[in-house]
Amino acid sequence: MKAIDLLKEIKEIDTYKRLGRVKQVVGILIESLGPASSIGDICYIYPKKNANKNPIIGEVVGFREDIIIIMPYTTVNDIAPGWLVESTRNSLQIKVGSALIGKVLDSLGRPLDGSALPNHLGTWSTENEPPNPLNRPPISEPLEVGVRSIDSLLTIGKGQRIGIFAGSGVGKSTLLGMIARNTEADLNVIALIGERGREVREFIERDLGEEGLARSIVVVATSDQPALMRIKGAYTATAIAEYFRNKGLNCLLMMDSVTRFAMAQREVGLAVGEPPATKGYTPSVFSMLPKLLERTGTNELGSITAIYTVLVDGDDFNEPIADTVRGILDGHIVLDRQLANKGQYPAINILKSISRVMNALTNDQHQQAAEHLRELLNTYLQSEDLINIGAYKRGSSKEIDNAIQFYPKIISFLKQRTNEKITMENSVQSLLQLIAGE
């Protein structure tokens, strides 16, 4: 580094410490008299007597006159009035680089196994603005995910944002693991937000596997962690994907689940005094969702293809979070509990799912074959009750006869074993052969 540049950096260093003192703790919030801070600033809270003790890290989430409202990143069991509060005047920064590939991190970007971060990593902010809409290249290339029903009937493009909507226990995590292992994306960034602690290792070892982990970065914020850590887990994973997108890579970001991110923000909003709006969700939830989801997609350097799972309470696909997310994303994949109960995996309801960019990625022959399969499946399902009780007589309708003939082949086409990898070329070819009657 040149001497003139070094002198410039030295002059820019802020040597002034901004300090305050803890006044009181209310619920999950810490109220401090000072220091001068802005929303989103990181603060360190130090004990008065034991200076060697690790400080509590928190974030400014609000203020009231001279009172600064801080929410800690960790559970606070020992804190007392008068503890020193130091403001960094910066938002959360994480270390990022290719050396993180294959690692499992917490919401602050630290290795979850307690090991040290590799050297020579760059610094990246977790709070970034979405790309300028005019700098977003159109989505023009398909992304192979290795799942036959998606590649052929719900084709995903590089830079597309799509949601997987399902109730609990219908196979969201299993489907994400299949996609992470089979995709042709350069890198996977996987965010497990609000997951049960037991499921984290199961997902990494069983669903993701060594093959998937070797090309992935996993960010984990379990359900027992404070709400702010669950929120920051989503931001940290998105920031990591943004870093690699700016390096020219085609990243695949998978977040399970955006619903638990919204629930965590609801906790924060209610704690700082926001009024509950739709079904208890605060207004900040509905303003933060588009800000988070719009950060993915394409820019002039690379792309982030994003797959968000949405946990629908009681299989109600019109509940507030599902309805809001569906309106923001570029398509949705619906997992159906009835199909899962019948043993169809992945349990994708093709008739209720859509990829809004598929027509821009596929040729006419592919589109016509996909539309024909949907018509055959819809015709059969509308007449299924009559067929099952024997009330339908063969020959009464040519369309129904045709649907009955094709239905077993369609179900066989839609099924796929979790360890089975199918290329997009083979998926499309199988679809064309199925429709051609071969």
Helical (H) or strand (E) element with 188: strand 187-195
pLDDT of residue 104: 95
Give the Cα separation of 97 and 99 in Å (integer).
5
107 and 219 Cβ atoms separated by less than 8 Å: yes
Buried b (16+ CB within 10 A) or exposed e, 293-331: bebbbbbeebbbbbbbbbbbeeeebebbbbebbbeebbb
Beta bridge partners of 348: 335
Q: Is 25 exposed, middle or buried (0-12, 13-18, 19+ CB in 10 A)?
A: middle
Residue 196 and residue 118: Cα distance in Å, rounded? 28
Name, in order, each residue with C-beta under 8 angstroms of 319's C-beta and a sequence gap of 6 or more: 279, 312, 313
pLDDT of residue 170: 87
Q: Determine the pLDDT at residue 398.
A: 87
Coil vs helix vs strand at 304: strand
At position 401, the amino acid (one-letter code) is D
Q: How far apart are CA 251 and CA 244, in angstroms?
A: 7
Helix axes 364-382, 398-414, angle to 10 degrees: 110
Residues in the chain: 438
pLDDT the model gives residue 393: 80
Number of neighbours of residue 432 by Cβ within 10 angstroms: 16
Instruction: Please report which helix (H) or strand (E) contains residue 365, including its range.
Output: helix 364-382
Mean pLDDT per 10-residue segment, the chain (438 residues): 62 70 89 89 83 82 88 84 89 92 93 87 91 92 94 96 90 90 93 89 88 92 92 95 95 94 93 86 93 94 95 78 93 92 92 94 94 94 83 82 91 92 93 86
pLDDT of residue 11: 62
Q: How confident is the model at residue 14, as a pLDDT? A: 60
Paired with 254 in beta bridges are 190, 307
Rounded to an integer, what distance in angstroms lies between the CA atom of residue 260 and that of residue 224?
12
| Residues contacting 14, CB < 8 A, separation 6+ | 89
CA angle (134, 135, 141) in 5-degree steps:
110
CB atoms within 10 A of CB 199: 16
d(CA 363, CA 370): 11
Q: Which residues contact 237 (CB under 8 A, 6 or more apart)?
A: 189, 190, 191, 217, 219, 253, 255
